[in-house]
Structure 1
Amino acid sequence: MSHNIFDQGSPAAVFAAVAAGAAMKYMAGFMFPRNRYGYVGRVGQIWVYPFKSFKGHSVQEADCTALGMKWKEFIDRHWTVATANGVYLTQRQEPTMALITPNIMGDQVELTAPGMEPITIPVNPTVTDSNKSKVTIKTDTVDSIDCGDKVADWLCRYFKRTGLRLHYSSPSLEKRDASKAKKPWTHPAKPGDMTAFSDYCGYMVLSNASLADLNKRLENPVPITNFRANIVVDDCEAYAEDSWSSLQIGEAQLRALDACTRCILTTVDQEKGVKDKKEEPLSTLKKYRLKDPYGPKPCFGINFTSDKPGKIRVGDPIYAKLH
């Protein structure tokens, strides 16, 4: 079954798109059987976003772990800001989160933000009875470490809000199981597909060709950072990632879950911390990237989970099995 998503236009345009997609799928199947891996592209960029909705790090190599991309002491989405009632906060509500930069300074993490003095917190604070707390991500409430009053006050002053706290998912604390995620559609996550504070799973994969196709449709092109992908793929066709069921990169193996459905966060300028007034690129994505069973949110990129850990590097060849 084809998993490509085609333009919604005239019958002739739809027919042409379907025919083109079928031809691409046929050629891919001819080049390598669906139950075997074949070359589909190369790792163009690797991104790690240790703090949910803060600025990420573009790195040359990283470890694919069961819980997400790891670089140095940072693991993807293992810190999150939460409101006074313990619910996670993102750029959806506070777009200037994009302007906070975390950097590792020995055994400390330094946070910098416009108009603020830098502040440091431990990279891996010890879990104690006094700092153990709860945080809610989506419909899951899990244990975390409360990172203390000093950084809480710093965040409250930056956002001009009260009651904010910073939470950390220490290695010894419970993680979230993607198989328990509640979605309007049936999703294929299995028990043991774990993550910390990401919305759903450990990895998001997107190709530069897909971004280029989107940008051709936009008055003002957007960078890849609007979509906060972990692995950005080069040397493939636009939306080729829609058809990949599993990936092999070096020793690492990743399994596709479902399409990444996009929200208002994609409209945040990651360098300015403001939402686009015309809600671009989300508005344009809605014109041609809607797909059953995902409803009114457009699909752009694919959610993946880890089946086997391993180090990956920019430039590594990517091999895939097709749906």
Structure 2
Amino acid sequence: MSPNIFDQNSPAALFAAIAAGAAMKYMAGFMFSRNRYVYVGRVGQIWVYPFKSFKGHSVQEAECSALGMKWKKFTDRHWTVSTADGVYLTQRQEPTMALIEPTIIGDQIQLSAPGMTPITFPADPPVTDSNKSKVTVKTDTIDSIDCGDEVSDWLCRYFKRQGLRLHYSSPSLEKRDASKAKKPWQHPAKPGDMCAFSDYCGYMVLSNASLVDLNKRLENPVPITNFRANIIVDDCVAYAEDSWSTLRIGETQLRALDACTRCVLVTVDQEKGVKDKKEEPLSTLKKYRLKEPYGPKPCFGINFTTDKPGKIKVGDPIFAKLL
């Protein structure tokens, strides 16, 4: 009589059980290696850019909030200048925006710029019927607080143009949902991936090694500030950030969205407020950092959003899941 594999004491049954156990162990090991976090570097710098296109702040520690990097009363890209028709203004049009420096003085914000007397205004004014306004960023038009006539006049004098207004995204006002962003390619932002006046999302991550590689190709090296990233990573190879799907820094968890495609803004000297006449480093990036499906704009850095808020500091180890 042939052995019955359903007989638990038969050799065939024992072999089948061992084989099944080995297969399950292999599959579990495969899934673990695919999904586990691995060390990829350390936080080298943290940058907060509270005013869109103004000078940023290099800080030693900050909070990764659901809406962007937060430091003291500043949250990343929560203030923006608009033109007379209510559309946001950036260094693409006005490179000297890079020279305006915001600072916190008590519960006030002070703006300083070359040739201008500093001006102060409330850091977090209440929303009222008289100061509620609209501003358009990309394809979104959202509510904001108008910061008033005095700072408006200050900006108009600095830029020598009329109708400029300063807008603030108060905590109680609507934010922009990255999942609704219109791009020429499919992007993985989910409903609830929010930001205020950033172009697309709350965070941009870039490695120092990528900058070193770029600068080897340039006649005149550029600093990391040309790219206005929030988290600068040390202790990794160039373009390692391209392969990170999720980052864990302490209790903070960030999720990659897509590559950061670069425009003429990266040609602005952040210390002088002028564009490079040869459009560097953009011209060089176009020679080796064009990737599908991103079209004619070169990729340099990765856009991230927050899955789990938390505090980070310079020197923190960074762990990632890989694509």
TM-score (norm 1): 0.90
The one-letter code matched in structure 2 to 1:133 is: S
Q: How does 1:44-55 map to 2 (within 5 A)?
A: 44-55=44-55
State the partner residue of 1:102: 102
State the partner residue of 1:299: 299
Find the aligned partners of 2:152 and 2:97 in 1 and give their Cα distance: 14
Q: How does 1:13-28 map to 2 (within 5 A)?
A: none
The one-letter code matched in structure 1 to 2:118 is: P
Find the aligned partners of 2:273 and 2:114 in 1 and give their Cα distance: 11
Find the aligned partners of 1:222 and 1:293 in 2 and give their Cα distance: 27
State the partner residue of 1:115: 115
State the partner residue of 2:125: 125
Q: How does 1:65-214 map to 2 (within 5 A)?
A: 65-214=65-214
The one-letter code matched in structure 1 to 2:143 is: D
Number of residue equivalences: 294
Shift of 1:240: 0.1
Find the aligned partners of 1:65 and 1:138 in 2 and give their Cα distance: 22
Find the aligned partners of 2:92 and 2:228 in 1 and give their Cα distance: 13
State the partner residue of 1:58: 58
Shift of 1:121: 1.1
Q: Does 2:239 correspond to 1:236?
A: no
Gaps of 5+ in 2: 1-29
Shift of 1:84: 0.8
The one-letter code matched in structure 2 to 1:219 is: E
Q: State the identity as a percent.
A: 87
> Secondary structure of the residue that 1:111 maps to in structure 2?
strand
Any idea what the Cα deviations from partners look like across 1:163-189, whole Å, max 9, x if unmatched?
000000000000000000000000000
Instruction: Pick the structure with greater CA Rg.
Output: 2
Any idea what the Cα deviations from partners look like across 1:236-294, whole Å, max 9, x if unmatched?
00000000000000110000000000000000000000000000000000000000000
State the partner residue of 1:258: 258
State the partner residue of 1:33: 33
Find the aligned partners of 2:100 and 2:250 in 1 and give their Cα distance: 32
Shift of 1:34: 2.7
> Secondary structure of the residue that 1:34 maps to in structure 2?
helix
The one-letter code matched in structure 1 to 2:111 is: L
> What is the CA RMSD across the aligned residues, in angstroms?
1.1
The one-letter code matched in structure 2 to 1:138 is: K
Shift of 1:33: 2.1
Find the aligned partners of 1:322 and 1:313 in 2 and give their Cα distance: 23
Find the aligned partners of 1:51 and 1:220 in 2 and give their Cα distance: 28
State the partner residue of 1:245: 245
